[in-house]
Amino acid sequence: MKKNYQYLDKVNFPSDIKNLKRSELKILAKEVRQELIDTVSVTGGHLGAGLGVVELTIALHYVFDTPNDKLIWDVGHQSYPHKILTGRKDKIKTLRQGNGLSGFTKRSESEYDPFGAAHSSTSISSALGIAVANKLSKKSDQVVAVIGDGAISAGMAYEAMNNAGVSKTKLIVVLNDNDMSIAKPVGAMSTYLAKLLSTKLYFSLRETIKLIISAFSKRFSDKAGKAEDFLRSAVTGGTLFNSLGFYYVGPIDGHDIDDLIPVLQNAKNLNHDGPIMIHIKTKKGKGYEFAEKSSDKFHGVAKFDIKTGIQQKSKSNTPSYTKVFANTLIKHAEKDSKIVGITAAMPSGTGMDLFGKKFPSRMFDVGIAEQHAVTFAAGLATEGYKPYAAIYSTFLQRAYDQVVHDVAIQSLPVRFAIDRAGLVGADGPTHAGSFDVTYLSTLPNFIVMAPSDEGELIKMINTSIDINNNPSAIRYPRGNGFGVEIPSIDEKIKIGKGRVIFEGKNIAILNFGARLQECILAKENLNKKGINPTIIDARFAKPLDENLIWQIAADHQYLITIEEGSIGGFGSHVTNFLTEKNLLDSNLKIRTMTLPDQFLDHDTPVQMYKQAGLDSNSIEQKVLDLLNSKIIVQKQN
């Protein structure tokens, strides 16, 4: 049932906000916050970050002339209030649904999204690029980047600030400091502000100011807070940000519109030839009791009950691949003290939080720093340790040079646990693990594995423990396994050896990864049509099981490879092998099934696999097409 709002109903675009009084803006903030809670309770998504920036979002659109002035949100987790206020209010409940609004900023979605983002720490770089473009074009439009205290700890943000400081180009950066990213921020940079404001210098100056104030009438005592705020600004601004060339303002209360608007107006009107840093303090999850009390401030949530805060987690009797990985690694680490775990600000997402609870001195969360994570792991490997770098496929892309230069060239035994490999549903193309098979299996020395179920994942982890002369990667999907029998930690597989699941004739389906069950479903339907394909679980994209592939080529007329990855991966290596061995001739026809050459929009996993042509129905039809059959598979609803 649609709620009736006093002011939000009148606000469709930022121009409508400018017609409201300050007192009315505060009511609007409450209404936006309520609409956000109502929406995410139905759609799921990122809640806490958006709740924390409601007042900031309103103030920014009130002060600046968007979309002419460019407003860039780092990552985009906190952009839902921005979407509500920029012409997308009526579609907000389609968030993260098929054909609905993206969960992140997206250029093709709105002119109010000048830069698409879903990975961390890109806002200052992109904002500086836009600001320089405006300068070259002699445009007077303002550019504002909003970045969180977690995101600003990443190396790319500091590279951007270092460049911005010498650019002599006006750029406004709003540092949203809520002491909370996805997980607790880690590293020296993330605690810099807190440490700075607890120094002896700061406290001695503070006590001096208090003594001065106490010597005067009590009517001056209410100025103490403002004096201390000034001191915090002077001490902080005079160090890190000033040294990087920024004009620093803050910290200020990010939930106080009366404070935010004049500061933003001053920054807008300031005739300054350089970057400006506005440091605001906010509370993640602000305004929703259960989010405020949550350990992760309701960062990413499933659908939930507003009254109780209880999330409607999917019910499954099978374990997630992430937990299978974590629990298996823990069992090995109990026996092998050389095993260490590494993650880049995603401990809960990768299962490294479980490993860290068991082995706190052997788990390293390096923060939003994938490049560092990989080279850090390489350093550990040189000293005989067995590092497991647990990183999402989409985030490992950010460290590709380190994978090549620091790991592969030196053939160091870093073990990559690649979570979220393949399509990821509602998070869409920015988080899909589409390219890891291709970008890893092209590298000399690498071993690239993909389990077809959770039991195979355990065997591959068991096997990886003893890989001491090569880098290796195990890629596995988001979600739950299939409920197969769980093997012991002693069961291993031979490197580069696949397995035959079903022996058939004439046509063979060679699967790599988690699409095996769909291949089996396709086989069952094909059997009803008198077609009996051989089903192979390849297990390895590198090294290939050349003997098995040779045998398949000799015994079959048709071969189909299937993988949940882009072109250039497993299927391409199989085709190259057959070509090099002169096995690909008129007696053997081969087809490869990969993710399509496009970025697939967010949707349910079922719909995404159907669109990608990697569901059982598509596999069945591919077989029939290859056999030149006139049998048409009935489309499933």
Task: Count the neighbouring beta carbons within 10 Å of the beta carbon of residue 619.
Answer: 27
Helix axes 257-269, 54-63, angle to 10 degrees: 40
| Residue located via tokens 């000799």 | 554
Q: CA of 290: how far to CAs of 176, 217, 297, in Å?
A: 21, 43, 8
* CB crowding 211-226: b at 16 or more within 10 Å, else e: eebeeeeeeeeeeeee
DSSP summary character for residue 420: S
Contacts of 61 by beta carbon, 8 Å cutoff, 6+ apart: 14, 17, 71, 82, 85, 86
Total residues belonging to the chain: 637
35, 5 Cβ separation under 8 angstroms: yes
Task: Count the neighbouring beta carbons within 10 Å of the beta carbon of residue 180.
Answer: 22
* CB crowding 126-138: b at 16 or more within 10 Å, else e: bbbbbbbebbeee
Among candidate residues 283, 284, 286, 523, the one labeled active-site is 284
Mapped onto helix, strand or coil, the DSSP state of residue 507 is: strand
Is 297 annotated in the active site? no
- Terminal-residue alpha carbon distance, the chain: 29
Task: Count the neighbouring beta carbons within 10 Å of the beta carbon of residue 302.
Answer: 14
Is 485 annotated in the active site? no
Among candidate residues 55, 370, 456, 563, the one labeled active-site is 370
Q: 536, 532, 564, 539: which is closest to 550 by C-alpha?
A: 536
Q: Where are the alpha helices (DSSP H) in 112-256?
A: 123-136, 155-165, 192-196, 200-214, 224-237, 240-243
Q: 168, 164, 169, 120: which is closest to 146 by C-alpha?
A: 120
> And the tokens for 98?
């098929």
Q: 636, 591, 588, 632: which is closest to 615 by C-alpha?
A: 636
As a whole number of angstroms, the distance between CA 369 and CA 121 comes to 10
As a whole number of angstroms, the distance between CA 611 and CA 53 comes to 36
Pairing of strands 472-475, 415-419: parallel
Is 284 annotated in the active site? yes
Mapped onto helix, strand or coil, the DSSP state of residue 343 is: strand
Q: CA of 549: how far to CAs of 426, 565, 636, in Å?
A: 36, 20, 33
Mapped onto helix, strand or coil, the DSSP state of residue 431 is: coil
> And the tokens for 118?
């879903």
Q: 58, 2, 76, 73: which is closest to 35 by C-alpha?
A: 2
Sign of CA dihedral 604, 610, 596, 374: positive
As a whole number of angstroms, the distance between CA 280 and CA 263 comes to 10
Among candidate residues 232, 286, 398, 523, the one labeled active-site is 398
As a whole number of angstroms, the distance between CA 25 and CA 57 comes to 11
Q: 372, 431, 366: which is closest to 403 by C-alpha?
A: 372
Q: 246, 150, 217, 227: which is closest to 190 by C-alpha?
A: 150
613: left (phi over 0), alpha (psi -120 to 50) or beta: left
Task: List the catalytic residues.
Answer: 284, 370, 398
